[in-house]
Structure 1
Amino acid sequence: MAARDRMIESNLRLVVKIAKRYMNRGLPFLDLIEEGNMGLIKAVERFKLSKECRFSTYATWWIRQSIERALVNQSRTIRLPVHVSDDINKFIKISRELVHKFNREPSVAEIAEAMGVDPSYIRRLMVLVKKTYSIEHPMGENSDYSLIDTIEDTSSVDPSGLIEDLDKFAHVTEWLESLGDNEREILTLRFGLEDREPQTLDTIGRRFGVTRERIRQIEAKSLEKLRKIMEEKELSGPSDAELGLRS
């Protein structure tokens, strides 16, 4: 036990160093360190002297994995200033009105004009909306549109809490390659991965010749697959290739 504790204590600076790379992604710095420490503990428990790599190399993988997993599963509840909360409520109200008026999802420019603000401010509100409101809920009793459909021109939407920062993570390419062609393409379009513009369910549905509900089902199934891949990866640990070892 004493040797284990010494290994942990001697690598705490490594955790801090790695945690700094993930600042400003939605978790406080101290929380990042705490998650990194959990990864460090796993590394200490699973490391074998027979491995042809330094412990720091092995621990780095586990620390990053733990932090990235925390970012993916982080709480989406945030506190907003009163005036911003008021603007969000106004944005939602006007968005509903424009959907009913045009019988389609309004553009950023149309919402901005109706609110009398700059389009860039609307985009910032949209980012906050996706973090604080149920964006899958219909805008009206007889409406086919939801808030999620009004934000095609902004950053990616993450109804499950899995994808939001996924394209920044080191293993995203590997994870996506494990999906079927249609599943991978739908997630890429839906969340604006690979520097693409995020698309709505309706837009993707038209592209594939299916309903928006079918796209939603494929999206949910694909996200669940990614979640299982993440969990399996955490259980198995890093491969020799990921540690830079020759087979």
Structure 2
Amino acid sequence: MCMVFVLQEGSIGLMRSIEKFKPQAGCRFPSYAYWWIRQTIRKAIYQHSRTIRLPDNLYALLGKVIEAKRGCNREGNHDPSKEDIARKAGITVEKLEKLQFAARIPISMQQTVWTDQDTTFQEITADQGVMTPEVEVAKQLMRRHIRGLLTILSPRERQIIKLRFGIDDGKRVSLLEIGNMYGLCKERVRQLESRSLNKLRQCLGSHGLDAYTDLLV
């Protein structure tokens, strides 16, 4: 954080101290202004020093953790364990791990991977939202296979399963809505759905659908 920014925030704190200062309270102005300047600068650092801002209470805990590490170093423990740091900071190891996880500093995707090359993290990081051609083909085969398996059901059972799991258009329909379509009560539709799923389960092994297990993770 640049010095100009710190000076600007310090000036804001000074102006606030002037507005709020009450001589009759018996406090010296330099001491009062010092508190406001320090508080304003600290708050600005909390809000702007990170890409993802952390709550103020986490900064306070981070300060305790940093001081605990320094304390361990002063005692000759230059590689303190999480247990050592947590005990010295007065928190649990679990809380320390959550704090360290929340305080991670994100890396820019435009940052170069190696200092002597121009390759960025964006160029070598795979997009998890885009399926590879192999996975896309495998999922298409799986869908085709599942639709073929549905032929063992009666036309009504097949339609209920398709509607319940959105097999055709991706939109799942409730038991009540299906009941209104067929003039059935909600419980009867649930029974038909359960019976249809049992029929399908009995055929899973013989139809080789276990080959698609990895695609469902």
Q: Which structure carries more helix by proportion?
A: 2
TM above 0.5, one fold? Answer: no
TM-score with structure 2 length normalisation? 0.30
Which has the bigger relative contact order, CA under 8 A and spacing at least 6?
1
Higher-Rg structure is: 2
TM-score with structure 1 length normalisation? 0.27
